[in-house]
Structure 1
Amino acid sequence: PPPPSPATFDHGPAGALPTGQGSGYLDRTVWSANLCWPLKEAGFANSQVYGPGGGMGPAGKPSQCDSSNYSLPWRDNFCEARSRSNPLCGSGTGHQGQDIRPATCKKNEHWAVAAEAGTITDIGTYTVTLVAKAAPHFTYRYLHMQMSTLAVKEGDKVEAGQNLGKASNDFGGAPTTIHLHFEMRAGVAGLTTDGRPVALQTFLPPYLSLAEAYQRKLNGGTCS
C-alpha cells in the first residue's frame, strides 16, 4: 500500500493515544487507498469511552455533546484499552476499530455510507458487515447505527457511498454514546509497516485510511 500523504485538517498522529488510554499501535500503512469516507457528512474521530460523557470520561464534563467531542483534532483510538481480542495490540487486547462522532450530537440523523462497493453479509443486533467486491476484499463492520431504520438488508449489493443506516447509540440492550464504530479487517494475509504478520480477517488500523478518505471528501472528491 502507498505511504500516507499530508492532510490539511488537524489530526493527531497514528498510534498516539493519551496517557492512560492504552498503548496505541503505530502502523503507517494506508490499507484502503480508495476508501469512501463512511459518513455522508463531516465527522470527528476520537474516543467515545474517554471523551466527555463516556464511561471513562473526564470529571466535570458529563455531557457527550461537549464541544470537545465535536471539534478537531482527530485522535486515533485503535488499540485503546479494551477487553476485546486484537492481535496487533501490544497486550493482545484493545479497541478493534475507530470511533467517529457524526457531524452533530444528534442520533438517528446522520447517514453512514458504504466504504466500498460490495455485499452486506451480516446484520447483527447492533452491527452491519460489508465485504468489499474488489480485491483484496476488505471486511468493514459498522456498529451502533439505528437498527430499526437500516437502508439495507443481508445479501444486498451496495455501491460505494450508498446509505446504510443512521449514526446512533444502539448497543443491544443498553445504549452507548452517539457515534459510529468503524472496523476494517484484512482480506488477505500480509505485513504491517513494522513487519508484523497480518492473517486473514485480522483487525487493521483504519485511522490513516480514514484520514485520507476525509481529505478527499474535503477536496470535493466523490466515492466511486
Structure 2
Amino acid sequence: MPSINYFWMILTGTKITLLISIFALVFGLFLGIIGSVLEKAIWPIRTLAYLWHLLIRGLPEIIVIFIFYFGMSVILSELLGTYIEISAFIAGGSALAIIFGAYASQIFIAASKAIDQGQINAAIALGMSKRLIYFNIKLPHIAKHAFPGLMNLWLVVLKDSAIVSVIGVVDIMRGAQSAAAETYSPMIFYGFAAILYLLLTSASLFIGRFINQKLHHGMENVRISL
C-alpha cells in the first residue's frame, strides 16, 4: 500500500487547483465583459476583438498556456531591459483567464440579445434614464440568461486547469503524476485524482443549480449540466 503522504500531496494540490481556477474565473469574467463590449464597438475595434476571440477559441488550451508561460517572460524582459521570470501559477492562470474570457464574451453577447425589447421600450416611455434601464432591466436579465453558460464554462475551466501541470504548477494532476512516477502505481493515484475532480465539479454543479433556480425563481426551464 503506497504511503499516505502521496495521497496528502495530491489532496494539497486541490487548493492550487481551486485558486488557479478562481483566478481564471474572476479575470476571465472581466475580460469577457470587455470583449463583449468591444465586439459591439466601431468597425476596426469590433473586427480586431472578433479576430482575437476567434484566435483564442481556435487554439488548443495547452498551446495558449505554453505561449503565456514562455512568452510573457520574453516580452517583459525585452520591455524592461532585464530578465523577468513569470511564475507558472501566474502564466497558467492568465492563460486560463484569457480562454475563459474569449468564451464568456460570446455568452454575454448572446444573453444581451435575449432581453425583451418591449421592456426597454416601456422603460423609455416611462422616462427612465439609460443608467436606470441598464441596472434595473438589462443587467438582471443578462445575468439570468448568462449564468447557465458561465456555470458550464466554470466547470470546463475547473477540469482544464489540470493542463497547467505541464508547466510545473503543483495542482492535483501534478501531485498524481509525481506519486505515480515514484511508486509505479498510476491507477491508484490517477484514480484518486479523478475522485477529487469529480467532487469539485459535483459540488460546483450543486451550488450552480441552486443559484440558477434562485435566478429563475425555481423554474426548471434552464438547466446546468456537465
Calculate the TM-score normalised by the size of structure 2: 0.23
Higher Rg of the two aligned structures? 2
Calculate the TM-score normalised by the size of structure 1: 0.23
* The structure with more helix, counted as a fraction of residues: 2
The structure with higher relative contact order (CA 8 Å, sep 6+) is 2
